[in-house]
Each structure stands twice: as C-alpha cells, then as structure tokens.
Structure 1
Amino acid sequence: MVPEQRRQQIVTALGTRGMVRADDLATQLGVSLETIRRDLNELERRGELTRVYGGATRAPKRSEGWDRRVGSQVAAKQAIARYAVRLLRPQQTVVFDMGTTLLEAAKALPGDWAGSILTTSGHVASHLADHAGVKVQLVPGHVREEELAVSGPAAERVFAEGFADVALVCAGGVHPQAGLTGCHEGEATVRRQMIARSFERYVLADSTKLGRVSTYRVTDLSSITAVITDSDVTKDVLDALVARGLRVHVAPPLPVDQHA
C-alpha cells in the first residue's frame, strides 16, 4: 500500500470514530508504529487531523460567528446553564468565562441570587449589569470584536492575583487524552488562570464539544471539578471521559415550554 492510500484510510477511520490510536493503526495497516507516526505528522501538517498523545483526533472546526453560535444547540445550552447555576451558593465569588453557554448561564441566574461575578465576557457583563444584589466586574484587557471576549496580560493579572469560589468556563473541546482545549490562544491562557485560582471548576460544554480537540491546550482533566453537558452525549464518549477520572454531570433536558 502506497503512503497516500494508507493516509486516506487513516482519515476515513477518523471520520467514522473521531479518534484513532497509533498502535491500532499500525496493526490494522500492517506497518510499523514509526511509519504511522510519520503519517499522522504529515496529515496534521495538512490540517486533516490533530495529534494527541498516543494517536490523533479530527481537526477542530473553525470558529463560527457569534450570531450563528448563539442560535445553535440552544436547548442543550439552556439545560446546561440552568443545571450549573443551581450549584452556586449566595455570596460566592464566581468567575464567568466568555461564550454562548456562559451567556445562557447569566440569563439563568436566579433573580434572588446575590454575590460577586468576575467575567471575561462583555455579553455576560452587559446582561448582569442590572441584576439586583450582584456585583459585576468585567476584567480589563484586549477585546475580541463580536465575541466581546477579553484576554491578554491585564486579564491574566486579575486572575493571578486573587481567588474565586467557583469558575464556570467554556471549552472548544474536552478530550480524554488532550484534556480541555480552546480556539484562541490568549483566551486559553486566561482560562487556565481562572481554573488555577478557583476552588470549584466546572466546564460548561454541550455534547458536540466532548471528544473534540481544539487548537490550544488549557489544562488536564484532573484540574477540573466536573464537566456539565447535555443529554445528547454518547455513551462511548462519556465512558472514555469517566475512565480518565473526570466527573461528568448530564443536565436533564428542559420541558419544551421552558425553552427561551
């Protein structure tokens, strides 16, 4: 089998399974492990996959626009958001990350909840600005247009110099081997600080993010208290994450008449 035929078989396997292991490929294709590693390196160079420890996953999708993402997976995000805010206790200091699921969490925050919120999202800060009993601080830094996401050295310093009770963070991907990953380097760095400086750390990720790897590493799964996802998560992905010691909370779907 010529190299290109072998590489096409690897890409086909990724399309079916989402993840491949190098040793399994070597056995299936009858070549050495070193040959498979060279194939994976070449396919990653072309942007057809992402290398992870022991194998590879599908290449991450390019980031979609804010308006499009706001309108996708809405029911799942609302279920995750309502589950997450029930974990918050009064008078806590809570970090709200950027992203559409975190905006849903801001919308789901009970009207009688009181406490402090530190956020990297202009959308979250704007929504909570008039929330009685809530002190909101939008961290300083560079703002990514449309997303209104804040990152950069100034934002990193805010989280490096203090502590929070709870961090609610987003994810570009949550993968058994690659851990928590994100789409933007600066935001991934800030997210890493959020997690390191919070006592409880919850990742709000709909089921389409689980088993995926995005471009920039944030942290290992061991640094996360739990992932909160929706009921569409598949058993194989769920089992793989749990096998790595990750706690996964599956938010029950909302009644149809409760969808905003």
Structure 2
Amino acid sequence: MLAAQRRDLLLARLAAEKKLVAKDLAVELGVSEDSVRRDLRELAAAGLCQRVYGGALPVSPAIGDLTARASVNVDGKLRVAVRAAGLIRPGTTVILDGGTTALAVARALPDELRATVVTHSPAVAAVLLDHPHAEVYLIGGRLFKHSGVTCGAAAAEAAEGVNAELFLLGVTGVHPDTGLTTGDADEAAMKRALARRAADTYVLASAEKVGAASRFSVLPLADVAGVVTDAAAEDPTVRRLGELGVEVLPA
C-alpha cells in the first residue's frame, strides 16, 4: 500500500471510529509504528487530525475565530442553546461562557426570566443589554480576540468573587478519552477557573464538537453535571458518554 493510500485509509477509519491507535494500525497494515506515526504527523500538520499519545483523534472544526465559527452548524447550536437556556431557573446566578453557542444561549433567554448572568464575553453581555430582567456582570481582564473573551490573571482573580448555581461551558472538543478540550491554554485555564465557581457545570456541545479533540485540556468529563448536545443518540461518542455515566441532554 502506498503512503498516500495509507493516509486515506487512516482518515476514513478516523471518521468512522473517532480514534486511531498507532500500534494496532501498524499490525493491521503490516508496517512499522514509526510509519504510522509519520503518517499521523503529516495529517496533523495538514490540520486533518489531532495527535495524542499513542495515536490520533478527530480534529475539532470549532477552533476558528468567532467570525469563522458563526457559520458552523447554526441550527444545531440554536437547538443546544434553547435546551441549555431551559436549565436556568428564575432567581439563580449563571456563568455564561463565550463563543457562538453561548451567544445563542443569551439570545434564547426568555424575556420574563429574572436571573443574574456573569460572563467574560463582552459580546454576550452586549446581547443582554436589552434583556428586561437579566442582571449582567462582566468579568474584565485581557481580551483574547480570537474568541472574544477575557482571560489571564486579572480575569481569573475577578472570577474568584463569583458564586453561581450554574456554569454553561463552551469547548471545542468532547471526547471520551481526552475529556473536554479547547484550542488555547489561557482560555482553558479561564474556563477551569469559572467552573470552580459554580455548583454545576453543563457543556454546550453542538454535534461537530462531539468526538473531536483540541490541544488543551479543560476538564475531565467526571467534573461536569452533563453535556447538552444535538448529536444523534446513536452517535458512537454519545453512546460512550452514556457508558461512562455522563448525563447527555438531547437538544
């Protein structure tokens, strides 16, 4: 088998199984592990997979900037947003992450809902300017322009003063093996800081993020109360999440 044919096979297998194990593939294809790892390096360099220890996972399509992400799975994000907005009870304090799904959540909040929304996204705060009953607190700090959120020491310190019932967390990858991931280390750290300030964390995971992985770990799946997703119930990752005891809330 030519190297190009082998790489095509790897991509097809990755799409079907959501995971590649280098040593197993080497045995199956009758080549060395070094050959498989070299193939995976080339695929990763082309942005076609996310290399992890021992193999590779699907790369998340949600790692672009806000403008690029705005056109990805718009209908799915809206369904996730409406389902997640229903988790916010009157009189509660909710931390709302940044990103396109979080923006959709902000837009989906009913006008009659009286709640306090804490966010590190100026865009989310701006959406809620016209909400008649939402009290909004904006966490300041260094603005990470790629995702439109504040990060860094000042933002993390400001988050320490928050106590919330609920955190709606945005990520770029949800995978049974790597947990919850995102594309920037500082943003991942800020998400962890916010998660520590809430009684329950629910993940906003439209279908393109389910089964995918990015470079930096946010939280293990065991640390969240559930995952809100529009991915189909028969999706292999959704089934694995259920087997791991993760509550999946269909959108």
The TM-score bracket by the shorter chain reads 0.7 to 0.9
Matching of residues 52-91 of structure 1 within 5 Å? 52-61=52-61, 63-91=63-91
Matching of residues 163-202 of structure 1 within 5 Å? 163-202=163-202
Task: Say whether residues 1:238 and 2:212 are aligned partners.
Answer: no
Go from structure 1 to structure 2 and tell me whether the alpha carbon gap of 1:133 and 1:12 turns closer, same or farther (over 3 Å shift): closer
Counterpart AA for 1:75 = D
The CA RMSD over aligned residues, in Å, is 2.7
Structure 1 stretches lacking a partner, 5+ long: 252-260
> What is the percentage of aligned positions where both structures have the same residue?
33
- Which range is displaced more, 9-18 or 216-225? 9-18
- Residues matched between the structures, number: 250
Go from structure 1 to structure 2 and tell me whether the alpha carbon gap of 1:141 and 1:242 turns closer, same or farther (over 3 Å shift): same
Structure 2 stretches lacking a partner, 5+ long: none
1-structure distance, mates of 2:225, 2:68: 30
Q: Does the Cα contact within 8 Å between 1:94 and 1:164 map onto a contact in 2? A: yes
- Which range is displaced more, 174-183 or 152-161? 152-161
Counterpart AA for 2:49 = L
Deviation, structure 1 residue 4: 7.9
Task: Say whether residues 1:148 and 2:144 are aligned partners.
Answer: no
Q: 1:134-167, CA deviations, whole angstroms, 9 ceiling, x for partnerless residues? A: 2111111111337432111111112234421100
Counterpart AA for 2:67 = D
SS at match of 2:130: coil
TM-score normalized by structure 2? Answer: 0.86
Deviation, structure 1 residue 61: 4.0
2-structure distance, mates of 1:7, 1:202: 36
Q: 1:179-230, CA deviations, whole angstroms, 9 ceiling, x for partnerless residues? A: 1011222211101111222111011110110000012111111111111011
Deviation, structure 1 residue 76: 1.4
TM-score normalized by structure 1? Answer: 0.83
SS at match of 2:28: helix
Q: 1:48-83, CA deviations, whole angstroms, 9 ceiling, x for partnerless residues? A: 532335531134447334334323322211211111
- Which range is displaced more, 98-107 or 10-19? 10-19
Q: Does the Cα contact within 8 Å between 1:53 and 1:178 map onto a contact in 2? A: no
- Which range is displaced more, 55-64 or 220-229? 55-64
